[in-house]
Amino acid sequence: MTHESLANCDWKHIVSRLGGTANLEWSARETKAFVRARVIENAVDLLRMILAYCLGDRGLRSTTAWASAVGLVDISNVGLLYRVRQCGDWLTLLVGQTLAYDAPQAAQAG
């Protein structure tokens, strides 16, 4: 995944696969990954920043520069690092939901 794919229609598909905007907002607030809108206005933008940083080959400074350049958010690299550190439980939840959704039916039966 590249920064470019996070800036185009691929992003809408990713949000959809993760349950949509409302589900991402709810789960981010539930896990305390997104407590209040300040610099980053919503959980979808937060996730976009996290994925750009974690899945890309650039550092925090380059990721925040990219986010500013595409008009996503103007945040410092330290601000992004703080938010990334708060998102472990949220990302665990999202990965678990995605794996469960894509699992074969026999594996889903409990």
Q: Is the pLDDT of residue 61 over 90?
A: yes
State the distance between the two ends of the chain, measured CA to CA, in whole angstroms: 33
Please report which confidence band the pLDDT of residue 99 belongs to, taking 50, 70 and 90 as the band edges. Answer: confident
pTM over 0.85: no
| Band of pLDDT at residue 50, cut at 50, 70 and 90 | very high
pLDDT digits (tens, 9 = 90+) for 18-38: 999 999 999 999 999 999 888
- Residues whose CB falls within 8 Å of the CB of residue 34, separated by 6 or more in sequence, listed in order: 25, 28, 40, 42, 43, 46, 90
- pLDDT confidence of 49, banded at 50, 70, 90? very high
Q: What percent of the chain has pLDDT over 70?
A: 85
Predicted pLDDT of residue 7: 54
